[in-house]
Amino acid sequence: MISGDNEKIEEKKNESDNEEKVIKLNLQSDIYSYTFYKFVVSENPFLHGELMIKCFLAITIQVMIIYLRFKEAVDEQGYIENGSPELNCVKLACAFFMHLQLYPEIEISLGMIRFGVYNQERFKAGPFFPMVLSLVKISGAVVAEVGSAYLIV
C-alpha cells in the first residue's frame, strides 16, 4: 500500500507469548527502497535483476562522487579556508539542513535492516540482496552526513 510519498510493508510477527504484532516499515521513494519493496511483493526474477542493475548504477555514481570529493580534499593537504562570519554561518546552516534531510534516511535504512533480519522468509528471492541494498543505503547516508560535517570546515 502506498501512502503519500512513502511505501509501507506490514508484517505480522509472532512474539514469544504467541501474540501477533504488526510491524510497519516506511520506505522512501528512491531506487533502493523500491527495489527492497519489490523483493517482498514480487516473484519476478527479471524485475529483480533489472532493479539490481539500476541500484548498481546508482551506487557506482555515488561512489565516484564520494571518491572525487575526498580526493579533492586530500589533495589540498589540510588547507582550511578562514571565511568571513557570514560565510561560516551559511556553511553551518547548510550542514544543519543536510543533517535534517539525512536523519530520516538513516532511520528508514535501519528499519529496512531490522525488517530484513526479522522477516527473512518474506523475501521472494531470498534476503541477501535486500540486506545488501539496506547496508548500501545506510552507508551512503552516513558518508553524506560526514561530508556535510566536512562542509563546515
Domain ranges of the chain: 2-152
Please enumerate in sequence order all residues whose Cβ is within 8 A of that of 52, keeping only pairs 6 or more positions apart, or say none: 35, 129
Lowest model confidence (mean pLDDT) among 16-20, 57-61, 63-67, 129-133: 16-20
| Element holding 2 (H helix, E strand) | strand 2-3
Cell, residue 92 = 553551518
Cell, residue 42 = 514480487
List the Cα angle 38/136/8 in 5-degree steps: 35
The four Cα atoms 113, 131, 99, 24 give a dihedral, to 10 degrees, of: -40
What's the mean per-residue pLDDT of the chain?
80
Split at pLDDT 50, 70, 90, the class of 23 is low
Predicted confidence (pLDDT) per residue in 30-66, tens digit: 888 899 999 988 888 899 999 999 999 998 998 888 8
Q: What is the mean pLDDT of residues 111-127?
A: 86
Contacts of 18-27 with CB under 8 Å at 24 or more apart are 23/115, 23/118, 23/119, 25/111, 25/112, 25/115, 26/108, 26/111, 27/108, 27/112
Cβ–Cβ < 8 Å for 142, 106: yes
* pLDDT value at 3 more than 50: no
Residue 68: predicted pLDDT? 84
Split at pLDDT 50, 70, 90, the class of 121 is confident
* pLDDT value at 111 more than 60: yes
Residue 135: predicted pLDDT? 92
Q: What is the mean pLDDT of residues 6-27?
A: 56
CA–CA gap between residue 150 and residue 95 (Å, rounded): 8
* pLDDT value at 124 more than 50: yes
Q: Beta strand 2-3 with 6-14: parallel, antiparallel or unpaired?
A: antiparallel
